Structure 1
Amino acid sequence: MRSKDTFVVIMAGGIGSRFWPFSRTNNPKQFHDVLGVGSSMLQMTVNRFRNICPPENIYVVTNADYRDLVKEQLPHLTQNQILCEPIGRNTAPAIAYASYKISQINPNATLVVAPADHVILKEEAFVQIIQEAVAAAEKEDILLTLGITPSRPDTGYGYIQFIEEGKHLKKVKTFTEKPNLELAQMFLESGDFVWNSGIFIWNVKSILHAFRQYLGEIAEIFEEGLLYLNKPQEEEFINRAYSHCRNISIDYGIMEKADNVFVLLSDFGWSDLGTWNSLYSIGNKDNAGNVIDGDVLLYDTRNCIIKTPQERLVVINGLENFIVAEYDNVLMICPKDEEQRVKDFVADVKSKKGSGYN
């Protein structure tokens, strides 16, 4: 059931460089139809909250460069629902901006903060979990995140260790960012670690109190701006404010320090779709284990992910465990187990070929 006191904040400002060459600075992955379903990641994210809150309670935080892309893909949003950052300063300033702005509109608001580029395969289960989380956050002074039961020792995700109490809602003990394989295996075997989904739920009073307590300089900046938020002077204030905000994540700035952090154990077919391997893991595979999006003929090729333009015929022979990705005049061919080098490729291309390819 949709509540007028529930607000959704969608984070859509990232570049997604690990998904290069498909995700580019001028057109990041959240604006692409990555799954080939006819909707971009951003559109799918907004759509899955349609039964959580009224459409006017959905806000998108993005880079000012992407304002027109957001308008084009979400024409029903008003100008006031698109929060444009002049520069990227990680998640803490973005969440502060949205939280202070919404607190002026509804001081009793409960916020759901979600990235724009996640895949949710079980949408009904997702809605139920979100409703359970919102109900808990409405009543309690807690900072809540959704934890995903891990299916493998993945080194690309952050992990949350919880204290065994309650049925689904657990007190958080520790956060660990992207462990090595040995540590990830230990986490999986222990049974008291979950993946950090990066989806947060809290009431606006709780998160503003946490900003004052743990990120006081950011709280001070936005409290000075309360006179300007939701007014014509907002953009001018934000341009000024962001020049004073440090680059810091909400996890490091608040969640790892606060003592009222809880995790709701969840299973709704989640992937953060941060890398080519994450897209491979959820993709439909042919009999040889290949995930294909494009006009492709394969011979003696196994366990590859291939994403190429429909207008180009691609013929591949004799590849195994490779990424083959082409988009906008860039072709990348890379072993799947070396996908962490994609960021190196992007840096090298920028330094050697200029900024037109990244």
Structure 2
Amino acid sequence: MAGGIGSRFWPMSTQKYPKQFQDILGTGRTMIQQTYDRISQIVPKENIFVITNKEYVDLTEQQLPELNSENIVGEPMMKNTAACNLYMAKKIAAKNPEANMIVLPADHLILKETVFLQKVELAFELASQNDYLITLGITPTRPDTGYGYIQFEENNNSDFYKVKTFTEKPDLEIAKTFLESGDFLWNAGIFIWNVKSILSAFDQHLEEMSQQFLSCEYNSNAEEQCIELIYPKVNKISIDNGILEKAENVFVIPADLGWSDLGTWTSVYENAQKDENKNALKSKHILTYNSKGNIIRLKNNNKAAIIDGLNNYIIVDTEKALLICPRDNDQLIKDYVQDLKTEKKGEKFL
């Protein structure tokens, strides 16, 4: 899934060039390229599909030249994650009605790739033998309000658990109680299931959407036109709200993956290399004085920057915009972007 705009990463992430197509951590590979590199170790490239916004199909083709162009699918408009999951399940089922599939966000960091691949293999095995909807769960380290939480039922099998409750993005007080209880995991947004299981779940829990997607002949010349007609009518809802919170057959595999959804500049700071003053810098021409705990990103590596007296700030300079704000305010960047939209000619900076 590679269709998001990543507005919390403004000004580096823009409407034309969102974060999944950026080398956020300075590794030499963009987020979508790293996701491809990871999963292509166990899934052949002809079985890897990317679903993104129509606007980003060309960009995806440029960054993943290994993929056939028909494996890169453009959504006509953003409809959250339920619609794209159903669309791809239909498309894959039309090729192979027995297929097992994994759903991966294109912009996540996974440091422990060997563990990740082992957990995915286990999930594929479970999905092929059972009518299970499976997600990978991460042990929470803080009461984060930006993640979905999975409460699991204890059993004698430590490899996977039945999900008891599924809560999407709770408020801070609820997140704190989840953390204290010890039986909650973060939802990593990585799902594994058989196409029959997920299509059956859509029939049961999102019946109207399921009916809407019946009319298309998938993997044919008529598919794109049919999807163009369907999408304006489709309900905008996440797979979490629409299916996983309601289904009785959801299971979770706990996984210590060195995972982050890199959803904010603070999460990038936490995963970036830092100097002796805990500053995360990418450019060799940045000098800091009396400054600690900052993340500093310059689009132009030939530009010099002097930072004096700033602690725990986000400083991002691009060709079109400059952001300077406390790291504690990283959740407000979406609001800044919204305010800029309302400014006269503000759109050109987004």
Distance in 1, Cα, partners of 2:68 & 2:222: 16
Same amino acid, percent of matched pairs: 51
Spell out the pairing of 1:80-159 with structure 2 (5 A cutoff): 80-159=70-149
- Equivalent residue number for residue 19 of structure 1: 9
Distance in 2, Cα, partners of 1:13 & 1:339: 22
- Note the aligned Cα RMSD (angstroms): 1.1
Spell out the pairing of 1:155-234 with structure 2 (5 A cutoff): 155-165=145-155, 166-225=157-216, 228-234=217-223
In structure 2, stretches of 5+ residues that fail to align are: none
Tell me the amino acid that sits aligned with residue 109 of structure 1.
A
Distance in 1, Cα, partners of 2:22 & 2:123: 29
TM-score w.r.t. length of structure 1: 0.94
In structure 1, stretches of 5+ residues that fail to align are: 1-10
- Post-superposition Cα deviations, 1:50-76, rounded to whole Å, max 9, x if no partner, equal 222111000000000001000101112
- Equivalent residue number for residue 50 of structure 1: 40
Distance in 1, Cα, partners of 2:170 & 2:274: 28
- Equivalent residue number for residue 284 of structure 1: 273
- Equivalent residue number for residue 357 of structure 1: 349
TM-score w.r.t. length of structure 2: 0.97
Distance in 2, Cα, partners of 1:346 & 1:274: 15
- Post-superposition Cα deviations, 1:274-331, rounded to whole Å, max 9, x if no partner, equal 1001111111122111111223110010111111121211110000011001123110
| Deviation (angstroms), 1:77 | 1.5
Range moving further from structure 2, 48-57 or 148-157: 148-157
- Equivalent residue number for residue 264 of structure 1: 253
**Is 2:307 the partner of 1:307?**
no
Is the 8 Å Cα contact of residues 167 and 245 (structure 2) preserved in structure 1?
Answer: no
Is the 8 Å Cα contact of residues 77 and 231 (structure 2) preserved in structure 1?
Answer: yes
1:332 to 316, 323, 330: 323
Distance in 2, Cα, partners of 1:326 & 1:255: 39
- Equivalent residue number for residue 314 of structure 2: 323
- Equivalent residue number for residue 6 of structure 1: none
- Equivalent residue number for residue 3 of structure 1: none
Distance in 2, Cα, partners of 1:246 & 1:181: 28
Distance in 2, Cα, partners of 1:141 & 1:47: 29
Count of paired positions? 346
Please identify runs of 4+ aligned residues in structure 1 that moved more than 6 A: none
Tell me the amino acid that sits aligned with residue 324 of structure 1.
I
